[in-house]
């Protein structure tokens, strides 16, 4: 199962890479999009709306992007929309930032806002149901509309990239973004499922923490896109502002726990252990603060301070994680290279985004701002999930090797036990034959001499009992010591026993055999013991007149079938007996299967042994 998942994931990674490459190949480039809208920006100083309408001051933005970083100002922006087509059209004004707290939209010099919306209002207050802020305007041919907006995002990162799209352009944009978000979502879910599977297989806490990390990062990305507000908490205006820092801090904790559990610090790396655990506590305390402090009581200055602190903390912990992984890599710790490359990949994206958010100096493109974190996370999770796959595959191979060693050792121990048992059986057989058998033979000869002198029926009865004891002793001796099994082989030894039974005349025995491959000595001995035990059971208990023995080897297995026409027995009751228990133990030793079918018409025992 693991091998299948590993191969499937490798194929999935390659397929994902091809898809992402094709997406970026066909995505419209920034300079080719004629939708960026020049606009004027003014700092809000509490002036009236009519004063802003009439104010000629402002900064002309020629590339359509405005990013002052983390600021404590509210901003006014002015722009013009014009329909230059020959027919009336529906236009969509986009800010390309789904996290603006408060927005007022004025049209054509009006002093009353046409739209009032923002993250501090329920989602259904938006003029258009979209994850981003979209404002629809219908313009006739040649018509122009002047737009004035008041934007409030004090204490947080402020980035807008105003665009105006007609209906077709807007549909294409939404389709492209949905495709990217669908791929990212599918990949993150797939990675979480795979990582949870590896956790169930490996039972390493690091896999569980990493699955939790991916899930939290995905929730952060989902919130960053504005999808969380649209689909998960459309009425929770207090949670909108908290969701991203909370998920960010929680994912930091989960990743640090993954790191310290996947690569436990050695005794010489105590300071790394202290630093990483300190970072876990700092993230945890900040997370707790964001959760319990009401957002309404936090001033913009405090929000800005905390946000910068979280951003700096994220960069610091990535640097510490990179340094720690470099130490582990230089120490030749397994899989450290995968983590190192994965974190480096994410760090490159994160650093660009953090610098852009704090200072606005990078001026990243619309797609990179919206999906850069997702692309960085996909690269990181791909490499680290592959590390878990490699670990699972290697551990599976190690377990298989260990299992083979254990089975081999168990087989060696079992062989030694059987060898000792056989030596003891042979010794007992020789003692029975030489000692007790000899004594009984001497006694029989003396009784025979006495009986020639004294004709006494009682003496004759004693002589018959002694003769019966000689036969029993000889049978026990032969049973304990298989006659010439090593020299004759299994088939010839069984054939001799069958011939002896047929000569005695008490029961008729048929023996059929077809062995296409040779058997090991231990297997021959076990099979011989099983056959003799089954014959003994039939002779003693079944009152059978005929026994059939069939021994066939074919296609890597040995089939032994012993049948009699006796009165049968209850299998459930007799399985507790010593004879059947011995048979069952020997079959288990040979890794075979035992099936017994018994009724009033006879008993059939089928044993299949792999060879």
Fold of 2-28+171-405: Rhopdopsin 7-helix transmembrane proteins (1.20.1070)
Three-class DSSP category at 98: coil
Per-residue model confidence (pLDDT) at position 5: 38
pLDDT profile of the chain (611 residues), mean per 10: 41 44 42 61 89 78 76 89 90 91 94 93 93 93 93 87 90 88 86 81 81 90 90 89 88 89 81 89 89 79 80 82 86 81 73 61 62 76 76 76 80 67 65 66 72 73 76 68 73 86 84 84 84 84 88 87 86 62 83 88 90 77
Residue 392 near residue 202 (C-beta atoms within 8 A): yes
Residue 531: phi and psi, rounded to 5, are -65, -45
Burial of 159 (C-beta count, 10 Å sphere; 0-12/13-18/19+):
buried
Q: What is the dihedral of CA 192, 197, 201, 206, to 10 degrees?
A: 10
Report d(CA 70, CA 63) in Å as an integer: 20
Cα Rg of the chain (Å, integer) = 43
Residue with tokens 């013991």: 529
Q: Which residues in the chain are classed under CATH 2.60.40?
A: 33-161
592 touches 610 (CB < 8 A): yes
DSSP codes of every residue in 409-466:
HHHHHHHHHHHHHHHHHHHHHHHIIIIIHHHHHHHHHHHHHHHHH---HHHHHHHHHH
* Predicted pLDDT of residue 542: 82
Tell me if 196 sits within 8 A of 208, measured CB to CB.
yes
Reduced to 3 DSSP states, what percent helix, strand and coil does the chain have, rounded to the nearest 5? 60, 15, 20
Query: What pLDDT is attached to residue 20?
Result: 47
* pTM reported for the whole predicted model: 0.64
Neighbours of 201 (CB within 10 A): 18
Residue where the block lists tokens 């993230």: 283
Instruction: Report pLDDT for 92.
Output: 94
Collect all residues with Cβ–Cβ distance below 8 Å to 127 and sequence separation of at least 6: 115, 117, 134, 135, 136
CATH class of 487-611: alpha beta
Mind listing the pLDDT tens digit for each residue in 538-581? 888 888 889 999 999 887 889 999 999 888 877 665 555 567 88
**Three-state SS for 176?**
helix
Domain 33-161 falls under CATH 2.60.40? yes
Name every residue whose Cβ is closer than 8 Å to that of residue 353 and which is 6 or more positions away in sequence: 364, 369, 372, 373
Residue 173: C-alpha distances to residues 16, 119, 163, 181 (Å) = 21, 22, 11, 12
**Domain boundaries for CATH 3.30.565.10 within the chain:** 487-611
Site of tokens 């200072």: 359
> Which residue in 141, 163, 142, 46 sits closest to 97, CA to CA?
163
pLDDT for res 573: 57
170-177 contact pairs (CB < 8 A, 24+)? 170/92, 170/94, 170/134, 174/130, 176/23, 176/27, 177/370
Q: Which pLDDT does position 268 carry in this prediction?
A: 76
The pair of three-digit structure tokens given for residue 583, joined into one six-digit string: 């048979």
Length of the chain measured in residues: 611
């Amino acid at each position: 199962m693991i091998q299948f998942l590993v191969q499937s994931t490798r194929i999935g990674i390659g397929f994902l890479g091809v898809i992402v490459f094709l997406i970026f190949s066909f995505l419209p480039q920034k300079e080719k999009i004629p939708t960026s809208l020049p606009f004027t920006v003014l700092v809000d100083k509490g002036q009236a709306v009519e004063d802003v309408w009439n104010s000629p001051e402002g900064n002309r933005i020629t590339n359509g992007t405005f990013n002052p970083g983390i600021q404590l100002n509210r901003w006014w922006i002015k722009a013009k929309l014009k329909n230059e087509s020959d027919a009336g059209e529906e236009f969509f004004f986009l800010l390309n930032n789904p996290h603006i707290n408060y927005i007022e939209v004025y049209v054509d010099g009006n002093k009353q806002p046409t739209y009032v919306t923002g993250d501090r209002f329920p989602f259904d207050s938006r003029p258009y149901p979209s994850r981003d802020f979209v404002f629809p305007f219908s313009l006739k041919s040649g018509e122009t509309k002047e737009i004035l907006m008041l934007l409030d995002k004090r204490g947080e990162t402020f980035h807008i990239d105003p665009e105006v799209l007609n209906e077709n352009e807007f549909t294409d944009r939404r389709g492209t973004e949905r495709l990217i978000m669908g791929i990212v979502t599918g990949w993150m879910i797939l990675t979480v499922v795979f990582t949870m599977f590896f956790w169930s297989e490996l039972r390493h806490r690091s896999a569980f923490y990493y699955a939790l990390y991916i899930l939290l990062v995905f929730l952060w990305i989902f919130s960053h896109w504005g999808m969380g507000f649209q689909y998960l908490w459309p009425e929770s205006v207090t949670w909108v502002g908290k969701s991203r820092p909370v998920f960010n801090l929680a994912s930091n904790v989960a990743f640090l726990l993954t790191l310290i559990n996947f690569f436990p610090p050695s005794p010489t790396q105590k300071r790394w252990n202290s630093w990483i655990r300190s970072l876990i506590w700092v993230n945890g305390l900040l997370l707790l603060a964001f959760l319990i402090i009401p957002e309404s009581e936090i001033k913009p200055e405090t929000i800005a301070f905390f946000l910068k602190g979280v951003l700096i903390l994220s960069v610091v912990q990535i640097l510490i994680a990179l340094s720690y992984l470099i130490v582990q890599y230089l120490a030749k710790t397994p899989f450290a290279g995968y983590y190192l490359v994965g974190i480096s990949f994410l760090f490159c994206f994160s650093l660009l985004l953090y610098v852009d958010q704090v200072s606005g100096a990078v001026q990243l493109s619309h797609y990179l701002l919206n999906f850069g974190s997702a692309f960085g996370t996909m690269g990181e999770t791909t490499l680290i999930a592959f590390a878990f796959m490699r670990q699972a595959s290697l551990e599976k191979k190690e377990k298989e090797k260990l299992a083979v060693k254990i089975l081999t050792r168990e087989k060696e121990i079992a062989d030694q036990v059987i060898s000792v048992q056989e030596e003891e059986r042979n010794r007992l057989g020789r003692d029975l034959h030489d000692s007790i058998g000899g004594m009984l033979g001497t006694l029989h000869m003396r009784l025979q001499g006495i009986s020639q002198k004294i004709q006494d029926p009682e003496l004759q009865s004693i002589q018959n009992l002694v003769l019966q004891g000689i036969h029993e002793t000889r049978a026990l001796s032969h049973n304990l010591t298989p006659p010439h099994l090593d020299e004759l082989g299994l088939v010839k030894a069984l054939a001799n026993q069958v011939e002896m039974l047929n000569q005695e005349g008490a029961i008729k025995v048929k023996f059929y055999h077809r062995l296409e491959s040779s058997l090991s000595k231990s297997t021959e001995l076990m099979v011989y013991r099983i056959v003799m035990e089954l014959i003994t059971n039939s002779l003693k208990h079944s009152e059978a007149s005929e026994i059939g023995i069939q021994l066939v080897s074919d296609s890597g297995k040995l089939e032994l079938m012993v049948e009699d026409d006796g009165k049968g027995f209850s299998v459930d009751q007799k399985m507790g007996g010593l004879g059947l228990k011995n048979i069952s133990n020997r079959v288990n030793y040979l890794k075979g299967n035992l099936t017994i079918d018994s009724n009033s018409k006879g008993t059939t025992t089928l044993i299949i042994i792999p060879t």
